[in-house]
Amino acid sequence: MLKLEHISFHVEDEGQDKEIIRDVSLSLPAGKLIVVTGPNGGGKSTLARLIAGIEKPDSGKVYFKGRDITQWSVTERARAGIAFAFQQPVRFKGIQVMDLIRLASGKDLSASDACEYLSRVGLCARDYINREVNASLSGGELKRIEIATVLARGADLSVFDEPEAGIDLWSFQNLIEVFSQMRQTVKDRSILIISHQERILNIADEVAVLQGGRLTAQGPREEILPGLIGSPSAMKECFGYSAGKGGKTVC
Amino acid sequence: MLKLDEIQKRLLAEVADLHTVPEGAYNIRSNSQSAGRKSTANIEIIPKTDVSGLDIRIKPGTKNESVHIPVVMTESGLKEAVYNDFHIGADADVTIVAGCGIDNCGNQDSQHDGIHRFFVGKGARVRYVEKHYGSGSGAGKRILNPVTEVYQEENSTVEMEMVQIKGVDDTSRTTLAELASGAKLAVRERLMTHGRQSAVSAYVVRMNGDGASADVVSRSVAKDESYQKFDAKLVGSAACTGHTECDSIIMDRGRILAVPGLEANHVDAALVHEAAIGKIAGDQIMKLMTLGLTEQEAEEQIVNGFLK
């Protein structure tokens, strides 16, 4: 489904080149859920943005369903079947939740169809469908609407950048259910989640660890996770264990 | 019997959502002539004799009735000033739809200056909708300079919706309001300018009695090389509340000047203004592009939503 080959990416920071992603190669087969984890500042969100096309790599190739999409725009990638949930969802004055879900689906959805997506992320659809996606919504509400837009896309590859950020304890359980359900209902579609949460890692088929811009481990969850949780280096890199909301923070 | 050509019918649909003869009272003005007029038992429309315009008298207690007074102009070079006075009786509850559409295919400027005065009786409620629209490929300008004066008696309510989205080259809008005790005024202005258009909108709202309140909100988009000025002044001379807000998106080489003004002449006058001007945020466009829209489509959606 998705293949990254030798991806590197840098930014200029106060006149100095800073390498964010260093020679990363990653493969995600169809029908799999991969969680990319690692310490803060390790390059995870940048990797997600490189996949969505928001950033372009300095070198390396991105393949999607066998096609080289390295130079494709965000729009082209979206139309080809890549959906992206932002870590910090965007607010819009005047645009209603219904409008956003309709745009995401690419169809003239009925209100009841749109409500279905909201219900799946634990929002009482009737209360939200006509709300503006503006500052009147809380961070958690926005985050769930963001996830609903990705569900409405029905894309072959859905990328979630830290979906748990800003979500409260009660919604977190619902979020796990959303991902589990996505996996079960669409067998040939793939999901990539950037996350620190053990409970999200626990539903992954594969786990990849990104540290200092490099991929330090990738493989089936059963192989990677035990080492990751027990590893002193992970402890050191990741501020140790902390009881985060709704689950233990691994990294 | 209405005699309107296709262009005039299209203009009517744009400014008054009219596709057939409206229900209730109406006067349709086309190229400085009345193309149709109807009074009802409660709403009387009488042409003025000294100047061009109408006296519209709404009986006290009239409920749930409407008046349509749209204007369409399709002759290039036509310039007119029209004086319409609305006398709204106590405790009436009515909707008034005005609006002007100009189609100018010629090289001479077309101009309509509508001077509307509203005398709103005690406890009356008025919803006023005014849309402006311009079209036509001629070099002559489409110019609209509306003046709206509102005199509200005790406990009356006026809601005004002013919309100008497309095609008007030059506008200078002046709105003056005087509010007695308990009177409420709410204004929602939506404006989009493009090309080399210029739009100036000035408000002076005087709250003269205790319990009066005013809420003047403008949302606007300035594209291309257009210019906008929003000048809203609230004057509180009693225990009253006033709020004015100007929220604008600036694009291309557009220019916007926001001049919010507050004048408090009473210790219990609570007045607030907000003004914000900015371009469309890059992450808004990016979000919509991740949904499959092009950059241009994303911009259109953001602007349409903002002006909705």
Residue B108 sits at the chain A interface (C-beta within 8 Å): no
Q: What is the mean pLDDT of residues B179-202?
A: 95
Provide the pLDDT for residue A239.
41
pLDDT above 60: residue B23 = yes
The kind and range of the H/E element at B243 are strand B241-250
Mean pLDDT of chain B: 93
Contact A153 B287 (CB under 8 A): no
Coil, helix or strand for B73?
Answer: strand
Q: Measured between CA atoms, how close is A248 to chain B, in angstroms?
A: 30
Provide the pLDDT for residue A230.
63
A96 DSSP 8-state letter: B
Q: Which residues of A touch B304 (CB under 8 A)?
A: 94
The C-alpha atoms of residue B87 and residue A173 are separated, in whole angstroms, by: 61
Q: Measured between CA atoms, how close is B301 to chain A, in angstroms?
A: 8
Residue type, A56: K
Q: Could you read off the pLDDT tens digit of each residue along chain A, which spans 251 residues?
A: 999 999 999 998 888 888 999 999 999 999 999 999 999 889 999 999 999 999 999 999 999 999 999 999 999 999 999 999 999 999 999 899 999 999 999 988 888 888 889 988 888 778 888 899 998 998 888 999 999 999 999 999 999 999 988 887 777 888 888 888 888 877 789 999 999 888 899 999 999 999 999 999 999 999 998 887 765 454 444 444 443 344 455 55
Q: Could you report the predicted ipTM of this complex, rounded to two decimals?
A: 0.90
- The full set of domain ranges for chain A reads 30-48+87-249
Nearest to B305 among A54, A75, A95 (CB): A95
Provide the pLDDT for residue A241.
42
CB proximity under 8 Å: B 123-162 to A: none
Q: What digits encode the pLDDT tens for the residues B245-271?
A: 999 999 999 999 999 999 999 999 999
By the 8 A CB rule, do A158 and A30 touch?
no
Give the C-alpha distances (Å, rounded to integers) separating A117 from A121, A135, B19: 7, 21, 37
pTM of the model: 0.84
- In B, minimum Cα distance to A153 occurs at B291
Per-residue confidence at B178, pLDDT binned at 50, 70, 90?
very high
Selected for mutation to probe chain B from A73, A74, A117 (highest B CB count within 10 Å) is: A74
CB proximity under 8 Å: B 186-245 to A: 219
Contact A93 B305 (CB under 8 A): yes
Helices assigned H by DSSP within A37-138:
44-52, 74-80, 97-105, 111-120, 125-128
pLDDT above 70: residue B132 = yes
Nearest to A84 among B290, B294, B307 (CB): B290
Contact A79 B294 (CB under 8 A): no
Contact A78 B292 (CB under 8 A): yes
Q: What digits encode the pLDDT tens for the residues B115-124?
A: 999 999 999 9
Phi, psi of A81 (to 5 degrees): 120, 25
Contact B247 A96 (CB under 8 A): no
CATH classification number, A30-48+87-249, choose in 1.10.10.10, 3.30.390.50, 3.40.630.30, 3.40.50.300: 3.40.50.300
Beta carbons within 10 angstroms of residue B194's beta carbon? 17
